[in-house]
């Protein structure tokens, strides 16, 4: 039966829940309720109905309490302190407090967790920056989607290739005859000295490499923002130059460069015939080129300058080496249709070529490359402004960074899972006072987010450190400023959630699975299921580490192999001097120049040549037996050299003899070829080739083959050795090689610089070493080796840290057992063995998993090399032994510490 008085009493009791209701207020509310009920009864309701309606009208105790609080508080939000906020879970402050306390109390474990995660995150973040940079190349240009570079696909006597260069008049033709073209422009690197353009202002003289001629409308197609000056007309007049801010600072310091002049040397023709050093008028200062563009400029010169020295530049459809055409189409035009139409221009160019040289062009087609695809999708295109990106290494780097992060996460999971056994009491108590499973999961996920967030902060510091070596290795200019990009930010936030959830969910799962009653009664919590997963994680960590070690060692072995004996020439202790100006002096007086350098006792040899191993573009000769028909002749890479080159470089002769200044006139009469050339020229044996006489396309002289040299790996060992010819031809000399013994490098360099200034006054002195120069051939491999080296050592360090933490935990867990064993007479060795045994099996399992995977991966990688090592057992043994030693060392350290402790201390409280 419904009793009104009881109901009202219990209703009033309910009001006690609210802290802000005073007794008077409660009485007043009760009085109100009674009046209301009386009124409703008067309307003929039953007691029960009247009560229910009155209660619902008056409002819940909670809202009433809140309203009372609002009426008296000065808080802006008006939220009473006992009420949950809408967005913060209850007990949040308690969770944070407990979380921070755990970190403080368990400094070592927290340190391991945070450092492990931070290293992984930093590696990932750097790689994300790198990948974003690679994938966003040139996407910042407005209208990039309708801007294209035009390339040419040709088949001629040299073979078939696709190149990024097109004739200079093409841009003019496109603008004049194709209505869908909004703008077309040319970019032309300085002709013969693009790699070393001398720039002079007062005392400042430097060689620059990023100087280009560009049409006045270049700023309408490519996004190059001006700081001083305006794009309109900046590159109109002859001898105008637009500087990047970096260049302006380099040559003008704090002065305003705009309106001043600077001298630039341009070599318009091969062979020094047309070298001009002229004043250029600075008409604009622009922002430095960003890192993610294929067109990295330092100075832009007006194309109208060229006309004075090459009058037919705008009409010459035949010489199109080193001229780049960019086109921007009108918004609604169809690129495919346009690409079809420009074949008219291609056909015209081919026809002009035939008219001029009397040779048929088998194929000449133009194709469009979208601006944004130039970097990552043009690996097969030759003669580009910048070497295209490499998907292969992009994947490898991303993958390894991910692996490191995984190691960090596994650490975290493992340690938290181990530590969770110390938190059973806390969980039990929370359960008893009413925590729901979901709340507990939230708490532990939250803790892992807290640690992940701390790791993120640490990772930013690490990134700053990592970026320096990374930029050096990868040849990039990435900075932390790149983090501002939305894509990068989004990925980092994604990473934070990924890591937080991955690392937090397993501990949360274990902890919430405890039965509170069992825990609080002091029963031990069964952990067989957890232990298995922990073992699995340790195996995973070490398998990844061992995998990385094997890969790194193999990469280094292959690099060693490619740099070592097998090359067929000496790379050590060779100092290179490049002569870029006053070449005639070198070509005429090289013997005298060599002698003057060799006056120093530490310089025991000197030679002069056209190129040296590791140089990029090679020139070559067509060789014929008869007077004409170079078209069908075989093409041989040439190194022109003096009499001493072969001796200084240690090139081995297999038949005949080397060049000899004492035997007749080798300079006029003799060639030497390599074994590959013997085959290319159609001889069965080296002996057959000896004495044969050939004419070279370059100087049209007949010379006899007097010697055959072994195939030396001039371009490195990634590619097959090309047929090669050695010739004494001084008109191509440009490099001096000095063989040195390094005793006092500074004293030696003083001598070299002094002699340089004697022979080449006013030419900036620059030098390099052959092994560095040659390493450019292997830059991707070397880059990958070093990066793998760093990442692997970091990964290994994290895994060991984790193992260290785990071992110390196991020791702590079994400290009483160890004490009892010691009391009963176990030796330190017994105890260390006892503790290590389990880990030995885990490491063995990791080796067993990692080895076949590494073998597979490395075999794939080695496929790319024409000359390669076989993955040897040694590498695997070294990796396995190393992993085992380090792991046992880590565990053993903990074991020895535990065994050495006095058992009294651990057993006292029992």
Question: Which residues are near other proteins by CB under 8 A?
Answer: 24-25, 27-29, 31-32, 34-36, 39, 57-59, 63-64, 67-68, 70-72
29 vs 689, beta carbon nearer other proteins: 29
59 vs 469, beta carbon nearer other proteins: 59
CB of 39 to other proteins, least distance (A): 7
The whole-angstrom separation of Cα 628 and Cα 242 is 47
73 vs 263, beta carbon nearer other proteins: 73
34 vs 308, beta carbon nearer other proteins: 34
60 vs 261, beta carbon nearer other proteins: 60
CB of 795 to other proteins, least distance (A): 59
The whole-angstrom separation of Cα 821 and Cα 403 is 40
**Residues paired with 22 in a beta bridge:** none
Neighbours of 726 (CB within 10 A): 24
38 vs 772, beta carbon nearer other proteins: 38
Q: Which residues contact 516 (CB under 8 A, 6 or more apart)?
A: 427, 428, 431, 432
29 vs 181, beta carbon nearer other proteins: 29
Instruction: Transcribe 756-813 into DSSP letters.
Output: HHHHSTTSPP-EEEHHHHHHGGGHHHHHHHHHHHHHHHHHHHHHHHHHHHHHHHHHHH
Question: Can you read off the two tokens belonging to residue 653?
Answer: 């002769």
26 vs 718, beta carbon nearer other proteins: 26
Nearest C-alpha neighbor of 281 from the set 261, 257, 308: 261
63 vs 351, beta carbon nearer other proteins: 63
7 vs 258, beta carbon nearer other proteins: 7
CB of 375 to other proteins, least distance (A): 57
Torsion of CA 793, 799, 802, 806, to 10 degrees: -140
The whole-angstrom separation of Cα 275 and Cα 86 is 76
Nearest C-alpha neighbor of 64 from the set 34, 26, 35, 31: 26
Q: Which residues contact 900 (CB under 8 A, 6 or more apart)?
A: 828
Question: Can you read off the two tokens belonging to residue 594?
Answer: 């060599």
The whole-angstrom separation of Cα 243 and Cα 605 is 42
15 vs 853, beta carbon nearer other proteins: 15
Buried b (16+ CB within 10 A) or exposed e, 593-630: bbeebbebebbebbbbbbbbbbbeeeebbbbbeeeeeb
Let me know: does 147 contact 327? Beta carbons within 8 Å: yes
13 vs 204, beta carbon nearer other proteins: 13
The region, left, alpha or beta by phi > 0 then psi within -120 to 50, assigned to residue 716 is left
Instruction: Transcribe 574-613 into DSSP letters.
Output: EEEEE--S-HHHHHHHHHHHHHHHTTSTTEEEEEEES--T
74 vs 746, beta carbon nearer other proteins: 74
Residue 856: in which H helix or E strand, if any? helix 828-862
Any alpha helices (H) in 475-485, and if so which ranges? none
The per-type count for the chain, helices as H runs and strands as E runs, is 29, 25
The region, left, alpha or beta by phi > 0 then psi within -120 to 50, assigned to residue 349 is alpha
CB of 6 to other proteins, least distance (A): 18
Let me know: does 677 contact 610? Beta carbons within 8 Å: no
121 φ/ψ angles, rounded to the nearest 5 degrees:
-65, -40
31 vs 517, beta carbon nearer other proteins: 31
Neighbours of 273 (CB within 10 A): 9
Let me know: does 734 contact 586? Beta carbons within 8 Å: yes
Owner of token pair 């894509």:
487
CB of 41 to other proteins, least distance (A): 13
Question: Can you read off the two tokens belonging to residue 464?
Answer: 């700053």
CB of 87 to other proteins, least distance (A): 21
CB of 50 to other proteins, least distance (A): 14
- Pairing type for strands 261-267 and 211-214 reads unpaired
Angle between helices 107-135 and 391-420 (to 10 degrees): 160
Let me know: does 79 contact 85? Beta carbons within 8 Å: yes
Q: Exposure of 314 by Cβ count < 10 A (0-12 exposed, 13-18 middle, 19+ buried)? A: middle
Residue 198: in which H helix or E strand, if any? strand 197-201
78 vs 762, beta carbon nearer other proteins: 78
The whole-angstrom separation of Cα 126 and Cα 119 is 11
The whole-angstrom separation of Cα 751 and Cα 765 is 12
CB of 72 to other proteins, least distance (A): 7
DSSP letter at 641 equals: B
CB of 53 to other proteins, least distance (A): 11
49 vs 245, beta carbon nearer other proteins: 49
44 vs 825, beta carbon nearer other proteins: 44
28 vs 589, beta carbon nearer other proteins: 28
């Amino acid at each position: 039966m419904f009793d009104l008085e009881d109901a009202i009493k219990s209703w009033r009791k309910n009001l006690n829940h609210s802290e802000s209701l005073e007794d008077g207020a409660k009485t007043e509310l009760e009085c109100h309720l009674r009046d209301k009920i009386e009124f409703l009864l008067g309307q003929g309701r039953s007691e029960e109905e009247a009560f229910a309606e009155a209660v619902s009208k008056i409002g819940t105790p909670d809202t009433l309490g809140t309203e009372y609080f609002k009426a008296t508080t000065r808080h802006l939000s008006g939220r009473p302190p006992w009420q949950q906020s809408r967005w913060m879970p209850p007990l949040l402050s308690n969770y944070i407090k407990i979380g921070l306390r755990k970190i403080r109390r368990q400094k070592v474990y927290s340190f391991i967790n945070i450092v492990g995660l931070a290293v992984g995150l930093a590696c990932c973040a750097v790689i994300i920056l790198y990948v974003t940079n690679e994938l966003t190349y040139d996407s910042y240009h407005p209208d990039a989607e309708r801007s294209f570079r035009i390339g040419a696909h040709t088949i001629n006597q040299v073979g078939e290739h696709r190149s990024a260069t097109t004739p200079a008049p093409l841009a003019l033709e496109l603008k004049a005859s194709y209505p869908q073209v909004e703008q077309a422009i040319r970019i032309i690197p300085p002709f013969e000295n693009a790699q070393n353009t001398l720039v002079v202002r007062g005392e400042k003289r430097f060689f620059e490499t990023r100087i280009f001629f560009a049409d006045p409308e270049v700023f309408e197609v490519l996004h190059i923002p001006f700081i001083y000056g305006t794009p309109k007309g900046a590159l109109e007049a002859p001898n105008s130059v637009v500087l990047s801010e970096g260049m302006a600072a380099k040559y003008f310091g704090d002065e305003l460069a705009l309106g001043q002049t600077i001298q630039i040397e341009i070599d318009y023709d091969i062979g020094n015939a047309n070298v001009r050093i002229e004043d250029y008028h600075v008409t604009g200062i622009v922002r430095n080129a960003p890192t993610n563009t294929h067109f990295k400029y330092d100075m832009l010169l007006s194309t109208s300058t060229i006309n004075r020295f090459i009058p037919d530049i705008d009409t010459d459809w035949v010489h199109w080496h080193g001229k780049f055409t960019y086109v921007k189409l009108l918004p609604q035009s169809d690129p495919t249709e346009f690409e079809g139409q420009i074949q008219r221009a291609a056909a015209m160019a081919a026809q002009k070529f035939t008219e001029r040289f009397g040779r048929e062009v088998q194929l000449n087609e133009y194709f469009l490359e979208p601006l944004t695809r130039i970097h990552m999708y043009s690996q097969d295109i030759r003669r580009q402004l910048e070497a295209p990106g490499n998907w292969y290494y992009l994947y490898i780097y991303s993958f390894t960074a991910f692996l490191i992060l995984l190691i960090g996460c596994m650490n975290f999971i493992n340690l938290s899972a181990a530590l969770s056994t110390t938190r059973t009491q806390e969980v039990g108590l929370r359960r008893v006072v009413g925590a729901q499973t979901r709340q507990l999961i939230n708490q532990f996920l939250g803790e892992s987010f807290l640690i992940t967030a701390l790791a993120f902060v640490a990772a930013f510091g690490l990134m700053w450190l990592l970026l320096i070596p990374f930029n050096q290795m990868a040849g990039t200019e990435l900075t932390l400023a790149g983090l501002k990009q939305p894509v990068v930010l989004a990925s980092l936030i994604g990473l934070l959630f990924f890591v937080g959830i991955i690392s937090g969910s397993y501990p949360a799962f274990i902890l919430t699975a405890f039965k509170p009653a069992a825990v609080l009664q002091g029963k031990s919590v069964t952990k067989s299921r957890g232990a298995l997963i922990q073992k699995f994680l340790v195996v995973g960590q070490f398998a990844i580490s061992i995998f990385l070690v094997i890969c790194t060692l193999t990469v280094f072995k292959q690099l060693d192999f490619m740099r070592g004996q097998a090359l067929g020439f000496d790379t050590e202790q060779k100092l290179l001097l490049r002569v870029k100006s006053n070449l005639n002096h070198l070509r005429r007086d090289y013997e005298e120049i060599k002698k003057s350098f060799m006056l120093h006792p530490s310089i025991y040899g000197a030679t002069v040549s056209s190129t040296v191993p590791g140089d990029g573009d090679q020139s070559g000769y067509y060789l014929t037996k008869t007077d004409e028909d170079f078209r069908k002749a075989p093409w041989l890479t040439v190194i022109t050299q003096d009499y001493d080159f072969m001796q200084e470089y240690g090139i081995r002769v297999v038949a005949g003899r080397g060049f000899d200044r004492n035997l007749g006139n080798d300079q006029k009469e003799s060639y030497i070829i390599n074994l590959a050339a013997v085959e290319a020229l159609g001889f069965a044996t080296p002996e057959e080739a000896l004495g044969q006489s050939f004419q070279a396309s370059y100087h049209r002289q007949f010379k006899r083959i007097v010697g055959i040299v072994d195939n030396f790996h001039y371009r490195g060992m990634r590619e097959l050795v090309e047929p090669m010819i050695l010739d004494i031809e001084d008109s191509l000399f440009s490099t001096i090689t000095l063989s040195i013994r390094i005793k006092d490098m500074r004293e030696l360099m003083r001598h070299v610089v002094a002699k340089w200034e004697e022979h080449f006054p006013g030419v900036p002195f620059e030098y390099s070493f052959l092994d560095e120069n040659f390493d450019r051939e292997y830059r991707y491999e070397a880059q990958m080796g070093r990066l793998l080296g760093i990442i692997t050592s970091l990964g290994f360090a994290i895994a060991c840290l984790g193992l260290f933490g785990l071992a110390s935990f196991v020791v702590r867990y079994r400290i009483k057992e160890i004490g009892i064993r010691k009391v009963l007479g176990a030796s330190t060795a017994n105890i260390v063995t006892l503790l290590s045994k389990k880990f030995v099996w885990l490491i063995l399992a990791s080796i067993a998993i990692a080895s076949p995977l590494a073998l597979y991966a490395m075999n794939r990688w080695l496929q790319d090399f024409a000359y390669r090592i076989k993955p040897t057992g040694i590498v695997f043994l070294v990796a396995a032994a190393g992993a085992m030693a380090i792991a046992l060392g880590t565990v053993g350290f903990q074991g020895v510490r535990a065994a050495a402790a006095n058992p009294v201390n651990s057993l006292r409280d029992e």
